[in-house]
């Protein structure tokens, strides 16, 4: 899978179970349905290739905190650390990222999630400090609106 964001392109592979498309159906072609759901992609940048320790930290600490405050985790991925063997698709090498995607009912649900994290002493005093210690730079958060035919 190639993660494309503006001028940044990284090859990533799943660090967990990946996307579940079970019980999902596309809307009809030409559907004008407006989805209120919000998909949030959070990108963590690291100075070196990720260790299994970070994936474990995510699964055992960060993911439960996010889920407890209203996030529905869809999938998470880590950078594939290998040479680009398909030059027709330029990929930035040497990037070390962890990307996780979460679904929220709507923008308000996301805002409530962020507020709940801010109120959580465990999040403020432990989890966010441990996360910041591991990262090379501040996380990048992208808010995505699925199209009517999206399976997300």
* Domain chopping of the chain, boundaries: 2-18+35-144
Residue pair 19/88 in contact (Cβ under 8 Å)? The answer is no
pLDDT in tens, 48-88: 988 889 999 999 999 999 999 999 999 998 887 777 777 78
Closest CA to 40 of 120, 122, 111: 111
pLDDT at 151 over 80: no
pLDDT at 152 over 80: no
What is the distance between the alpha carbons of residues 124 and 118, in angstroms, rounded to a whole number?
7
Closest CA to 90 of 9, 32, 27: 9
How remote is the C-alpha of 10 from its chain's centroid? Answer: 14
The chain-wide mean pLDDT, for the chain, equals 82
Whole-prediction pTM: 0.78
Q: What is the mean pLDDT of residues 88-94?
A: 75
- Provide CATH code, domain 2-18+35-144: 3.30.70.100
Residue-level pLDDT at 2: 38
Residue-level pLDDT at 23: 60
What is the distance between the alpha carbons of residues 141 and 150, in angstroms, rounded to a whole number?
20
Residue 126 is given by DSSP the state: I
């Amino acid at each position: 899978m190639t993660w494309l964001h503006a001028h940044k392109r990284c090859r990533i592979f799943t660090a967990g179970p990946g996307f579940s498309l079970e019980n999902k159906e596309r809307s009809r072609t030409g559907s004008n349905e407006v989805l209120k759901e919000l998909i949030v992609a959070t990108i963590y940048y690291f100075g070196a290739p990720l260790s299994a320790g970070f994936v474990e930290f995510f699964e055992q600490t960060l993911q439960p905190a996010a889920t407890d405050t209203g996030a529905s985790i869809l999938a998470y991925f880590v950078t594939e650390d290998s040479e680009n063997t398909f030059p027709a698709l330029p990929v930035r090498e040497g990037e070390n990222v962890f990307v996780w995607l979460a679904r929220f009912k709507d923008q308000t649900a996301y805002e409530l999630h962020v507020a709940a994290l801010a109120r959580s002493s465990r999040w403020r005093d432990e989890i966010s400090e441990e996360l910041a210690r591991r990262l090379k730079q501040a996380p990048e958060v992208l808010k995505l609106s699925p199209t009517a035919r999206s399976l997300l």
